[in-house]
Amino acid sequence: MAIADRAVITCDVHGEKYATFICPHLTEGEGKGWHPLGSGDDERPDAIGFACEDASDPELWAKEAGIGISMVCSSCYDLLRARHDVPRAE
């Protein structure tokens, strides 16, 4: 999704920023993995952690678990990605 197509939200920390979407598991902690969804055209694609990626159907799993998706500002997205973007353990 092009930046111009994104909604603008007001973050309590960063003010007015573009909206981004991530797995709620990624809003806390660190080192949970970072798996971007969608095409490579998006600077900040929706993202899920490794646990959700490993589910047979991550979207269905999230719905069944009742966790949905979290909307965060683009600056929060960058900070969370830095905390969780680790190599997958083999």
The domain ranges of the chain are 3-84
Kindly report whether the global pTM for this prediction surpasses the value 0.95: no
Tens digit of pLDDT for each residue in 18-56? Answer: 999 998 889 999 999 999 987 778 889 999 888 888 776
pLDDT averaged over every residue in the chain? 85
70: left (phi over 0), alpha (psi -120 to 50) or beta: beta
